[in-house]
């Protein structure tokens, strides 16, 4: 690994000022399960690595905050998957967190880091998009909240400004019963990156939120509020056409090693139908 | 750029250690090279194989994906810390009894993951063992015996002890301890 400077600030303002000062030459580290691989293979060569785990204002807590469930920047995938509140209200997030790496990776990898790494295949991104997640970012000019769908640009690139650090992710509390699910397609069972990943949430007002990843430069959120996708009586052949419109944001890379574009798009349609059906079934049992 | 060493204080297998390390050295580097604890193995270096698994403040992690400096103030348990006074832990004993160690290279990581699993779930199902050890690859494909060993260890009592002087088991037992003499990277061990 190439040498770098290591800073472990104790205050948020010190961290954001280090990030502002060094810009692209600085990289924050939380869990490090993606970053250290890229430091070692040389694809990232920062001059300074800023460890955010010593910052007093940051935590790994999952707690209620004024209508939202708030995940601190240091919350690990293991903590997400084990939290009873998340299990009850955001089951697709639990399912996706349990797909991340192995026990060892989940003990270290953070939910916020999975977003900041901005991989198109980020396992937890579709579930967070489907649940309407907000990114909370703090930088030299203050703190702002932005919808997660405005955060991703392309692999490894986000809309964070120079000096900004994500301090939390917030999920709005459910306002009605909801059926939701996360599905993914991999080359093999177990520890693998996703070829297609998809989350779906259906509510009694007929709204279907469907989010998908690993089929383009960034995870995508699409919403159907016609009520037709959520209709348990509408045949799959009709739903397939509706889903194709929602999947317009998919543009899989022809050069990926994991799967061909044709395969990914075909599997996206399969997961779409399965996801909608499963979400409808879960909504029905939530209302039973 | 000046490359400076940074002070690192951590507890390894119950013993306080105070050393100076380079920021770009991983916890795996620190354990093996600075502390001479070569039971923890270096293999894939991308967090897929689990050969470098250690407990960091009680949680299993891939030590190849942790910077040494990040472990400042932490408590680390390696395979060398599982046996107490040369007496194997129940998990180590059951690995030995079931013949779970073949070449032995992955065994330190498997053992640490098994310890973490059993600390969390005292009596896991087979599916829980498979998931708990999914981050530890065995190229000898000794998975059946490894899974069996963890299931047996979960039900073991203190009565199930193999005598340390059982010569037939001695070589296999060294692998349970992550001993450098019994593993393929003996040449890399500090003299």
CB < 8 Å to A3, chain B = 1, 3, 22-24
Is 0.80 surpassed by the pTM of this model? yes
A54 to chain B: nearest residue by CA?
Answer: B70
Distance CA A51, CA A76 (A): 15
Chain CA centroid to CA A276, Å: 19
Instruction: Give the closest of B61, B72, B135 to A191, CB-based.
Output: B135
- Does the pLDDT of residue B174 top 90, yes or no? no
Question: From the CA of B55, how many Å to the nearest CA of chain A?
Answer: 9
**Which residues 6+ apart lie within 8 Å of A267 measured at CB?**
A185, A195, A196, A259
Confidence of residue B188 (pLDDT cuts 50, 70, 90): very low
- Does the pLDDT of residue B185 top 80, yes or no? no
Query: Per-residue b/e over A218-240, b at no fewer than 16 CB within 10 Å?
Result: bbbbbebeeeebbbeeeeeeebe
CA distances (Å), origin A214, targets A180, A202, A253, B99: 19, 22, 9, 41
What is the reported pLDDT for B156? 74
- Average pLDDT value for chain B: 87
| B92 CB-contact burial (10 Å; exposed 0-12 / middle 13-18 / buried 19+) | buried
List of chain A residues with pLDDT < 50: none
Give rounded-to-5 percent helix, strand, coil for chain A: 35, 25, 40
Q: For the segment B24-51, what is each residue's pLDDT rounded down to a tens digit? A: 999 999 999 999 999 999 999 999 999 9
What single DSSP character describes residue A76? B
What is the reported pLDDT for B172? 64
Instruction: Give the closest of B6, B46, B48 to A6, CB-based.
Output: B6
CB < 8 Å to A107, chain B = 56, 59-61
What is the reported pLDDT for B186? 42
Residue range B100-113: mean pLDDT, rounded = 96
What is the reported pLDDT for B93? 94
Confidence of residue B4 (pLDDT cuts 50, 70, 90): confident
* B22 in Cβ contact with A3 (< 8 Å): yes
- Using a CB–CB cutoff of 8 Å, tell me whether B81 touches chain A: no
What is the reported pLDDT for A95? 97
ipTM associated with this complex = 0.94
* B11 in Cβ contact with B27 (< 8 Å): no
- Does the pLDDT of residue B119 top 70, yes or no? yes
Residue B92 corresponds to which tokens in the numbers above? 């180590």
CA distances (Å), origin B82, targets A106, B75, B87, B183: 23, 14, 9, 17
Contact B62 A5 (CB under 8 A): no
Distance CA A20, CA B85 (A): 52
Chain CA centroid to CA A225, Å: 23
The CA-to-CA distance between both ends of chain B, in Å, stands at: 32
- Does the pLDDT of residue B161 top 50, yes or no? no
Q: Which of B27, B46, B61 to mutate to test the interface with A (most CBs of A within 10 A)?
A: B61
Residue whose C-alpha is closest to residue A78's, from B23, B132, B187: B132
């Amino acid at each position: 690994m190439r040498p770098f400077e290591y800073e472990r600030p104790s205050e948020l303002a010190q961290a954001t000022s280090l990030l502002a000062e060094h810009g692209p030459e600085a990289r924050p580290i939380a869990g490090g399960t993606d970053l250290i691989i890229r430091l070692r293979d040389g694809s990232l060569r920062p001059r300074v690595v800023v460890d955010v785990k010593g910052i007093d204002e940051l935590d790994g807590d999952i707690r209620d905050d004024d209508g939202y469930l708030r995940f601190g920047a240091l919350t690990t995938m293991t903590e997400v998957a084990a939290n009873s509140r998340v299990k009850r209200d955001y089951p697709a997030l639990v399912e996706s967190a349990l797909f991340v790496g192995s026990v060892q990776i989940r003990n270290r990898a953070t939910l916020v880091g999975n977003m900041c790494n901005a991989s198109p295949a980020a396992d937890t991104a579709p579930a967070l998009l489907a649940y309407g997640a907000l990114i909370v970012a703090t930088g030299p000019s203050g703190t702002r909240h932005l919808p997660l769908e405005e955060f991703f640009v392309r692999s490894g690139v986000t809309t964070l400004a120079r000096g900004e650090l994500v301090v939390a992710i917030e999920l709005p509390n459910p306002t009605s019963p909801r059926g939701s699910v996360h599905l993914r397609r991999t080359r093999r069972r177990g520890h693998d990156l996703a070829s297609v990943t998809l989350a779906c949430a259906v509510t009694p007002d007929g709204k279907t939120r469907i989010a998908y990843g690993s089929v383009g430069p960034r995870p995508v959120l699409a919403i159907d509020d016609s009520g037709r996708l959520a209709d348990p009586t509408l045949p799959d052949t009709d739903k397939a056409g509706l889903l194709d419109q929602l999947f317009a944001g998919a543009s899989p890379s022809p050069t990926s090693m994991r799967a061909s574009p044709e395969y990914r798009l075909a599997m996206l349609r399969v997961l779409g139908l399965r996801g909608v059906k499963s979400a409808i079934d879960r909504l029905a049992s939530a209302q039973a | 750029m000046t490359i400076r060493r940074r002070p690192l204080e951590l507890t390894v297998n119950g013993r306080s250690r105070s050393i100076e390390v380079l920021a770009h050295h991983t916890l795996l580097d620190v354990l093996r090279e600075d502390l001479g604890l070569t039971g923890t193995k270096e293999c894939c270096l991308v967090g897929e194989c689990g050969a470098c698994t250690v407990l960091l403040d009680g949680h299993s992690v891939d030590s190849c994906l942790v910077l040494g400096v990040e472990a400042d103030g932490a408590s680390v348990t390696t395979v060398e810390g599982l046996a107490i006074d040369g007496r194997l832990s129940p998990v180590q004993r059951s690995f030995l009894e079931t013949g779970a160690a073949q070449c032995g290279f992955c065994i330190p990581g498997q053992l640490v993951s098994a310890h973490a699993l059993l600390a969390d779930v005292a009596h896991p199902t087979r599916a829980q063992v498979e998931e708990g050890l999914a981050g530890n690859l065995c190229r000898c494909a000794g998975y059946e015996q490894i899974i069996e060993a963890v299931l047996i260890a979960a039900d073991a009592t203190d009565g199930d002890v193999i005598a340390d002087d059982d010569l037939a088991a001695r070589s296999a037992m060294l692998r349970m301890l992550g001993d450098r003499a019994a593993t393929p990277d003996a040449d890399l061990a500090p003299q």
